[in-house]
Amino acid sequence: MKRRDVIRNLSILPVSGAVIGSTFPFKETLSVPAAPDAKRDLFKELGLRTFINAVGTVTFMSGSLMHDEVVDAIVSTSKEFAILDEVQDKAGEKIAALCHAEAATVTAGCWSAMILGMAGVLTGMDQNKVSRLPNLEGMKSEVILQKKHRHGYVHAIEACGIKLVEVETAEDLEKAINEKTAMLWFLNFAANDGKIKYEEFVALGKKYNIPTMIDIAADVPPVENLWKFNDMGFDLVCISGGKALFGPQSAGILMGKKDLVAAARLSAPPRGGIARGQKVNKEEIIGMYVALDKYIKTDHEKEWKMWEERIALIASFARRINGVTTEVTVPPFANHTPNLHITWDSAKVKITSNELQERLRKGNPSIEVMGGSGNDISLSVFLLKPGQEMILGTRITEELKKVSV
Ligand SMILES: *Cc1c(COP(=O)(O)O)cnc(C)c1O
C-alpha cells in the first residue's frame, strides 16, 4: 500500500473524536490508557495456585522465573515497532558472539530450535524445498542417532518428515550412512549412556560431511556448555531459553553454522514455512538475549555456594527429626545443581513420600518437591527465592514431626 492509500484507509476506520480528518502522523492519541491497577492479582482472579518450586526447571510447572532484567527488557521493547527480521539479525549476532557460534536465532523453545535446525539442514536455501516440508521428495530423509539417545524429544526432528536410524557403535554409524543421510543427532543428557562420545561423533560428521546437531535444552550450569559444543565442532546447538537461562519460557536458541542458521530461518516467521506457527515476538527475542547475557555474567561460583548454604540449612532442620538422614546429590545433566535427598526410617516416621508431597502441596504456602520411592523426597534449591529455604526447612520438619513416633 502506498502511504497515500494508508492515510485514506485510516480515515475510514471507526476511530473516535478528533482524530478523523487529522493528517498523518496523528498528534492526538486514540484512547487514554487506563491507569494500571496495582492491586489486581491475576493469579487470584483466575483461581490459580502458585507455589514454591523445589523441583527444578520443568516445563509443566512453567519452567523458570524470568529475571527482572528480562521482564524489563520485554516491557521496554513493547512500546515501539521494529522489523522482526532485523531483531533476529541483531540479537542473533550478539548471541552468536557470546556463545562462540557463527550465527544464532531465537526460536520458540529448544523443541522449535530442533525443528528449525532440521528444516535448514534439509532445505538449504532452496525456497521450493522450504515450501514443501515435511514432504521430502528430492531431499535427504534420514537422521542417525544412538539407540540410548532416543527420547521423546526426537519427535521435534521427526516433525520435518525424516526417518530415524538407530545405531550403537561408531562402526554401526559408518555403515548406516548413505546418500539419504541428512544429519547426525546427539542428546547431551544421554552422553554417558551412548557408546559414541562427543568428539568421535563430531569427527564422524566431518568425515562424511554430514551436519551434527546437539540438544542441550536444560544443560547449564555449567556455563561453559553455552560454547563448549560450538567449539567442539557441532554444526547446530539447541537450548531452551526458559529453563536454566531464566529467559522467556516460550523462547530458545538455535546456534551454529552460518549457512545452516540462515537456511533454518527460511522456515520460520515472518515467512510461511513449517515453523510459521512457532512465532517469537520481538520482546521475547530481545528478552532471550538479555537473559543469556545476564546468565553469562553471573558469578557462578558464588551462586553454587549459595545453593549449598540453602541445602545445608534445610538439611539441618530435617535432621532434627529422629530417624531422618540427608544426602546431597548433583545430577550430571539437566538442572546440574545440588539437590537435597531426605530419607526417613519408616518405623520412626510414619508417612509415605506421596503423603508428604501432598501435605506440602496443600500447605500455606504451597510447596512442590520431588517425590521418592516410599520413605524419601528430594528437593532442588535452584529456583528458590531468597528466604524460601527457611520456609522449606520449617514446613518439612513440621510435617515430619507430626508423624514421628
Ligand atoms: C525441555 C527439553 C526440550 C524442549 O525444550 P523447550 O524449550 O521446552 O521447547 C528438548 N529437549 C530436552 C532434552 C529438554 O529437556
Query: pLDDT for 201-240, tens place per residue?
Result: 999 999 999 999 999 999 999 999 999 999 999 999 999 9
**Which atom of ligand 1 lies closest to the CA of 218?**
15
pLDDT of 244 > 70? The answer is yes
Q: Spell out which residues line ligand 1, taking CB within 6 angstroms.
A: 59, 109-111, 153, 189, 215, 217-218, 240, 252, 334
Give the rounded percent of residues in the chain with a pLDDT score beyond 90.
90
**Residue nearest atom 2 of ligand 1, based on CA coordinates:** 217
**Which atom of ligand 1 lies closest to the CA of 63?**
8
pLDDT of 52 > 70? The answer is yes
Q: Pick the more confident residue, 37 or 307.
A: 307
Long-range CB contact pairs, 349-353, < 8 A, 24+:
349/321, 349/322, 349/323, 349/324, 349/375, 349/400, 349/403, 349/404, 349/405, 350/403, 350/404, 350/405, 351/399, 351/400, 351/403, 353/377
pLDDT of 275 > 70? The answer is yes
**Which atom of ligand 1 lies closest to the CA of 188?**
13
Q: For residues 117 and 149, give the distance between their C-alpha atoms in angstroms, rounded to a whole number.
A: 18
Mean pLDDT in residue range 173-196: 98
Would you call 29 helix, strand, or coil by DSSP?
coil
- CA 153 – ligand 1 centroid, Å: 7
Per-residue pLDDT at 31: 57
Per-residue pLDDT at 23: 45
Q: Pick the more confident residue, 23 or 291.
A: 291
Cβ atoms 321, 397 nearer than 8 A: yes
- CA 398 – ligand 1 centroid, Å: 36
- Which of the listed residues 106, 111, 186, 253 should we mutate to test ligand 1's pocket, taking the one with most ligand atoms within 8 A of CB? 111
Per-residue pLDDT at 35: 61
- CA 154 – ligand 1 centroid, Å: 10
pLDDT of 45 > 90? The answer is yes
First to last CA, the chain: 79
Per-residue pLDDT at 105: 98
**Residue nearest atom 13 of ligand 1, based on CA coordinates:** 217
pLDDT of 27 > 60? The answer is no
pLDDT of 125 > 70? The answer is yes
- Which of the listed residues 115, 148, 215, 216 should we mutate to test ligand 1's pocket, taking the one with most ligand atoms within 8 A of CB? 215
Confidence tier at 8 by pLDDT (50, 70, 90): very low
Per-residue pLDDT at 36: 62
- Which of the listed residues 220, 240, 249 should we mutate to test ligand 1's pocket, taking the one with most ligand atoms within 8 A of CB? 240
Sign of CA dihedral 340, 342, 54, 254: positive
pTM for the predicted model, two decimal places: 0.90
pLDDT of 81 > 70? The answer is yes
Residues contacting 283, CB < 8 A, separation 6+: 73, 74, 75, 77, 78
Per-residue pLDDT at 39: 87
pLDDT of 405 > 60? The answer is yes
Give the rounded percent of residues in the chain with a pLDDT score beyond 70.
91
- CA 281 – ligand 1 centroid, Å: 19
From 24-38, 170-184, 349-363, 383-397, the region with the lowest mean pLDDT: 24-38
**Which atom of ligand 1 lies closest to the CA of 251?**
7
**Residue nearest atom 5 of ligand 1, based on CA coordinates:** 110
**Residue nearest atom 8 of ligand 1, based on CA coordinates:** 109
- CA 111 – ligand 1 centroid, Å: 6
Please give the mean pLDDT across all residues of the chain.
93
From 8-17, 220-229, 302-311, the region with the lowest mean pLDDT: 8-17
pLDDT of 15 > 50? The answer is no
Mean pLDDT in residue range 80-107: 98
pLDDT of 263 > 60? The answer is yes
